[in-house]
């Protein structure tokens, strides 16, 4: 009789242990996703100011600034991966896709962003970059037949409406000029290139390619392409020799590129390009906080509703709503 009762208890205990293990795994997975999400928001929310600081401090061409940024980032990444024996071998086709990724997300898109910083403010540039969430949703559907989730559309509407409300005063006070149109167009084009790079990264991770390895080679190829473009234009690759330019370069290369892109593309592999791109909606908040602290930004009446809508968009996108379920009592 005791053996029969023990036999009946064991499956029940195994089931409880499995449920506990599943819950623990879900909590750890959620914590890692949240850490990556917030890391990307904080890192990339500050790089716009660093780009502006570098451009205002030096006389080097834009392609030269992008070249040095990703050359330094790629060499650091390749050295560290080789040191810890995490540098994986890639096929010729993988390398060709890394070249394409370098053009899209580690090269020409940043040329667009750097040039745009000469026409519009870093805050407005980060607002336009927030369109990456829409680009990624559309491109994921085109390239991978991934239908947008039911949450994505209302989250995008809330997020974009919040961004417009947040910067409404600045948008109203900005006169429509040729320079403004150039800045907006270049930022939108750079964001599209960033989205294409997301699709290539998604392709890498679907084929189980190591994200750090593909990122490192992508940065290296992007830097080499920028060097080639500079030389074809007759531009010297010599950097600007001053503290502000080099300080911005180190920050953009190590923090913005090595850490930022590593965290972002890892997040893409974990939660998908559409949801990962929603980090871009929070970039303007970080830029606004820094501007309030260091540049004396003044909050206006439309900013508070905008902030609330952005936060609501994040809740709609990522909150786990309790599902009603029946309990089976044994």
pLDDT tens digits for range 49-92: 788 788 777 677 889 999 999 999 999 999 999 998 889 999 99
pLDDT above 70 as % of the chain: 82
Nearest to 245 by CA among 61, 40, 43, 45: 61
Q: Residue 319 is encoded by which pair of tokens?
A: 């909150």
How far, rounded to the nearest angstrom, does the alpha carbon of residue 321 sit from its chain's CA centroid?
A: 26
Count of domains for the chain: 1
Rg, Å, the chain Cα set: 23
Q: CA nearest 319: which of 89, 151, 181?
A: 151
- Looking at residue 281, the DSSP 8-state letter turns out to be G
Q: Is residue 282 a contact partner of residue 45, using CB atoms and an 8 Å limit?
A: yes
Are the CB atoms for 88 and 43 separated by under 8 Å? no
CB-count exposure of residue 11 (10 Å: 0-12, 13-18, 19+): exposed
* Residue 183, in any domain of the structure: yes
Q: Does residue 26 form part of some domain?
A: no
Both tokens of residue 67? 């070249």
Query: 113 pLDDT exceeds 70?
Result: yes
pTM here? 0.77
Q: Which two tokens stand for residue 239?
A: 């950097």
pLDDT value at 47 more than 90: no
Specify if 11 maps to a domain: no
Asked whether residue 35 is assigned to any structural domain, the reply reads no
Residue 196 belongs to a domain: yes
Sign (positive or negative) of CA dihedral 122, 125, 127, 129: negative
Q: Label residue 140 by pLDDT band (50, 70, 90).
A: confident
The percent of residues above 90 in pLDDT, for the chain, comes to 22
Residue 73, token pair as written in the block: 């980032």
State the number of CA atoms in the 13 A half-sphere of 3 facing the CB.
0
Closest CA to 282 of 30, 36, 42, 31: 42
Q: Can you tell me the distance from the alpha carbon of 163 to that of 124, in angstroms, rounded to the nearest whole number?
A: 10
Highest mean pLDDT among 155-169, 199-213, 279-293: 199-213
Check residue 329 and give its pLDDT: 35
Residue 173 lies inside a defined structural domain of this protein: yes
Q: Which two tokens stand for residue 15?
A: 């089931």
Band (325; pLDDT cuts 50, 70, 90): very low
> Could you tell me the pLDDT band of residue 327, with boundaries at 50, 70 and 90?
very low
What are the tens digits of pLDDT across the range 59-70?
778 899 999 999
Domain membership of residue 191 as a residue range: 41-318
Instruction: Please spell the DSSP secondary structure of 18-73, one letter per residue.
Output: HHHHHHHHHHHHHHHHHHHHHHHHHHHHHHHHHHHHHHHH--S-HHHHHHHHHHHH
Render 62-99 in DSSP notation, one character per residue.
HHHHHHHHHHHHHHHHHHHHHHTT------HHHHHHHH
Q: Is residue 22 part of a domain?
A: no
In a domain, 1, yes or no: no
Give residue 156's pLDDT: 79
Torsion angle of alpha carbons 192, 193, 196, 198, nearest 10°? -100
Q: Compute the C-alpha angle 224/226/227, nearest 5°.
A: 65
Res 298 pLDDT > 80: no
More confident residue, 26 or 243: 243
CA–CA dist 54, 60 (Å, integer): 10
């Amino acid at each position: 009789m005791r053996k029969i009762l023990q036999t009946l208890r064991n499956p029940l205990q195994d089931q409880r242990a499995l449920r506990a293990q599943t819950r623990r795994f879900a909590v750890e997975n959620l914590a890692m996703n949240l850490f990556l999400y917030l890391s990307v928001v904080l890192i990339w929310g500050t790089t716009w100011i660093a780009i502006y600081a570098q451009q205002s401090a030096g006389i080097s061409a834009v392609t030269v600034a992008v070249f040095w940024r990703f050359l330094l980032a790629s060499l650091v990444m390749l050295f560290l991966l080789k040191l810890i024996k995490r540098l994986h071998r890639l096929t010729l086709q993988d390398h060709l896709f890394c070249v394409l990724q370098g053009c899209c997300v580690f090269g020409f898109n940043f040329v667009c962003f750097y040039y745009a910083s000469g026409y519009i403010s870093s805050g407005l540039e980060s607002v336009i970059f927030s369109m990456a969430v829409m680009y990624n949703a559309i491109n994921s559907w085109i390239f991978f037949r991934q239908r947008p989730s039911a949450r994505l559309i209302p989250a995008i509407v809330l997020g974009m409406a919040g961004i417009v409300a947040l910067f409404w005063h600045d948008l109203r006070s900005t006169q429509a000029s040729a320079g403004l149109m150039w800045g907006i167009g270049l930022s939108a084009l750079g964001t599209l290139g960033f989205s294409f790079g997301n699709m290539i990264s998604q392709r890498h991770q679907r084929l189980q390619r190591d994200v750090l390895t593909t990122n490192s080679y992508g940065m290296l190829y992007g830097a080499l392409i920028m060097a080639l473009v500079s030389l074809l234009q007759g531009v010297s690759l010599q950097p600007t020799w001053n503290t502000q330019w080099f300080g911005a370069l180190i920050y953009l290369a190590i923090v913005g590129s090595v850490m930022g892109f590593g965290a972002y593309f890892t997040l893409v592999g974990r939660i998908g390009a559409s949801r990962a791109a929603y980090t871009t909606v929070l970039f303007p908040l970080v830029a606004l906080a820094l501007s309030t602290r260091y540049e004396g930004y003044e909050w206006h009446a439309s900013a508070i509703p905008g902030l609330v809508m952005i936060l609501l968009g994040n809740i709609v996108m990522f909150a786990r709503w309790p599902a009603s379920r029946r309990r089976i009592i044994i």
